[in-house]
Amino acid sequence: MDFKKVCTLDDLWEGEMESFTVDGQDIILVCAEGGGIKAFQGICPHQDIPLVEGKFDGQRVICRAHLWQFDAGTGKGINPDDCALAEYPVRVDGDDVLVKTEGVQPLFAHS
């Protein structure tokens, strides 16, 4: 599998988070402060809650269910700090945002 177009730059503004399904996997795209775009698993590793239902403050993705927090630059857990989100490679080609899912599986954590 190769990179697949998910959206355009106009679909994802700085400070926004959007949900997409790519190759059958739920992902979120986040555009952090400064405009960097990252792709992570779209389901919280805690209890399968869609992360798009939570909040994104430009730096952290926050799950609505138990307020688990993840760094939007790395996917690493902030609270708790012993978990993480799987990250998918992202490429921007002109105005298109592309994501590659091959070889990446969602991560799951303790309860």
Q: Is the pTM value of this prediction over 0.85?
A: yes
Tell me the CATH number for domain 6-87.
2.102.10.10
pLDDT reported for residue 100: 97
Q: Give me the pLDDT at residue 86, please.
A: 97
What residue spans define the domains of the chain? 6-87
Stretches in the chain below the pLDDT threshold 50: none
Q: What is the distance between the alpha carbons of residues 19 and 76, in angstroms, rounded to a whole number? A: 19
Instruction: Answer yes or no: are the C-beta atoms of 5 and 96 closer than 8 Å.
Output: yes
Q: Is the dihedral of CA 3, 92, 57, 21 positive or negative?
A: negative
pLDDT attached to residue 35: 86
